[in-house]
Amino acid sequence: MRAHNFGAGPCTLPLALLEEAQAEFTDYAGSGMSVVELSHRSPQYTAIHREALSLAREVSGAPDDFDAVVIPGGATMQFAMIPLNLLGGERRRGAYVVAGTWGRLALGDARRHGKAYSAWSGEEHGFRKMPEKGEIELTPGTRYLHVTSNETIGGIRMTEIPESEAPLVWDMSSDFLTRPIHWDRTDLVYGGVQKNLAPAGMALVFVRRSALRDVPSHLPRFLDYRWYAEKDSVGNTPPVFSIYMMGKMLKLIRNLGGVAGLERRTAEKARMVYRVIDESNGYYSNPVDRRHRSHTNVVFRLPTSGAEERFLERAAAMGLVGLKGHKSVGGCRASLYAGLESESAARLASFMEDFRTKNS
């Protein structure tokens, strides 16, 4: 039986895509070898690579003055590359919105490199909300404002684009392509692909070419965005399987109506689960300010930790897995990423109703 996988990452991928990959696996396009054995300079792999990156552009709607690149190392690698590449030149400070664990980690890495500061923090409120209009404070010399569009652990989503004199840098790891990107105010957007788009191993990054004017010349090539752009992300051997699967997933998203289609589908899945929480007379609870509830990571608690344990056990017995909350916060979390079928969300919602009826 195939699991309904609500894990927060690596994500579930649609069965149809896995089967397609399986059918192609040992003999890709008549090459006599699998995708993971092909030379990354071969015509077969080059076609896979170009198509995946061109779909990334097409589906995201990236303007022509942005480069689309894939970089090994996940989102965490970007926490380092962003300050390394962008904090040269005159405006040398990176501002960070800290609305959860990931924002805090991004700021921590930027501080190791150079001048970075918190422009807003939700920590004292227990990470339950995003900044309100006018709350973000930038100091002079700020090069960029880094924001996490969706805090995966707290289950909080940024609904309003922050006002900022500095260009925005977005960590969209956990809601990549499930919402439009505000290109005109943005210098860089990135996400680890393992939440919505592909198997783990890399980040998909869009960067405005003019933002790379002051990249320090001492950077090793592997840490320099310009190298990825110049070499079309094949400067060295790329994570070929991840790129191949990303291409399949992007094609699927395009067929679902692109970002707008995925946004609707994701909101619909989230509605199913939040409805059960809200209609449970407090049996299930969600701590997040309603306006900022995540569509991709729904966090919830049950009345006692004993009830949570039984809930997770019963759910697993029904094939509903990956529902344990992050260890830093406990409770439960249902991740509703792009690869999760709507039917899985519906199953979860009906299981939750049923569990409450029997246990409250």
Ligand X SMILES: *Cc1c(COP(=O)(O)O)cnc(C)c1O
Residues classed as catalytic: 102, 171, 195
Which residue lies nearer to ligand X by CB, 286 or 297? 297
State in angstroms the smallest separation of the CB of 154 from ligand X: 10
- Whose tokens are 């191993």? That residue is 201
Cα 295 to the center of its chain, rounded Å: 12
The closest alpha carbon to 144, from 199, 214, 193, belongs to 214
What distances in angstroms separate CA 15 from CA 12, 19, 249, one per listed residue? 9, 6, 11
State in angstroms the smallest separation of the CB of 300 from ligand X: 18
State in angstroms the smallest separation of the CB of 295 from ligand X: 14
Give the DSSP letter string of 250-303: HHHHHHTTHHHHHHHHHHHHHHHHHHHHHTSTTSSB--S-GGGB-SSEEEEB-S
State in angstroms the smallest separation of the CB of 106 from ligand X: 7
User: Could you tell me which residues are beta bridge partners of residue 276?
Assistant: none
Which residue lies nearer to ligand X by CB, 85 or 148? 148
State in angstroms the smallest separation of the CB of 9 from ligand X: 5
Angle (CA) 255 261 263, round 5°: 140
Which residue lies nearer to ligand X by CB, 202 or 302? 202
Q: Measured between alpha carbons, how far is 86 from 213 in angstroms, rounded to an integer?
A: 9
Which residue lies nearer to ligand X by CB, 28 or 175? 175
With the CA atoms of 261, 265, 267 and 271 taken in that order, what torsion angle do they form, in degrees rounded to the nearest 10?
A: 160
Which residues, including other chains, have CB under 8 Å from residue 125's CB and lie 6 or more apart? Answer: none
Cis peptide preceding 10, ω within 30 of 0 = yes
Which residue lies nearer to ligand X by CB, 192 or 247? 192
As separate numbers, helices (DSSP H) first and strands (DSSP E) second, the chain gives 9, 13
Task: List residues near ligand X by CB under 6 A.
Answer: 9, 74-76, 102, 148, 152, 171, 173-174, 192, 195
Which residues, including other chains, have CB under 8 Å from residue 195's CB and lie 6 or more apart? Answer: 8, 9, 11, 152, 173, 174, 176, 296, 335, 337
User: Could you tell me which residues are beta bridge partners of residue 190?
Assistant: 171, 205
Which residue lies nearer to ligand X by CB, 148 or 344? 148
C-beta neighbour count of 173 within 10 angstroms: 27
State in angstroms the smallest separation of the CB of 96 from ligand X: 12
